[in-house]
Amino acid sequence: MRLLALTALVAAATPAVAAPEMTPAAYAEYLARFNAGDERYADIYDPEVVFEHDPKFGTLRGRDAIIAFYRQIRLQLKETVTASTVVIDNDRGLMAAELSTHLLATRDGVDMPSGTLMKGDAIVTRGTVYYGLRDGHIVSIRGSIGGTSVVRAKQ
């Protein structure tokens, strides 16, 4: 009986440990790693993250699937993502980011939803990405594109 009372007293006196949260600094580090091609960008993902990509590429399930997808993308494109606005609500488990994505073809014949790119061609998209959050990790990713421009390299 005394052991139970002592255990309850210790539990009541021990402060609760807060779950990790997403922060603007963590998101900025994620983008910096992503843009540098450092696969540690995926450390911010929950192992079971779900990325609802566009119809051409489908839904990617799991951290490893996203890493593999971008490994293939980086064989033909240099991708740079810039955030203009990021809103984080850890209490609701949501984050939204207004992003500009610059894709530069590093070889000829890159098949993209907006057409085939030749080396030096670029696609610039603007849109919003919505993230689901849990314990400081991204558990879901989906987005909407607000505009796309294709810039052809000078021949």
What is the set of domains in the chain, with CATH numbers? 19-151 (3.10.450.50)
The two tokens of residue 66 are 């996203």
| pTM (two decimals) | 0.84
As a whole number, the mean pLDDT across the chain is 89
Q: What is the mean pLDDT of residues 71-95?
A: 97
pLDDT at 146 over 90: no
- Under the banding of pLDDT at 50, 70 and 90, the label for residue 17 is low
- State the Cα–Cα distance between residues 77 and 103, nearest whole angstrom: 6
Q: Which of 148, 102, 101, 147 is nearest to 122 (CA)?
A: 102
Q: Return the SS3 of 36.
A: helix
H or E element, residue 76:
none
- Quick check: 2 pLDDT over 50? no
Strand pairing partners for 133? 138
pLDDT digits 0-9 by tens, 26-47: 999 999 999 999 999 999 999 9
Cα separation, 27 vs 87, whole angstroms: 11
Q: Calculate Rg over the CA atoms of the chain.
A: 20
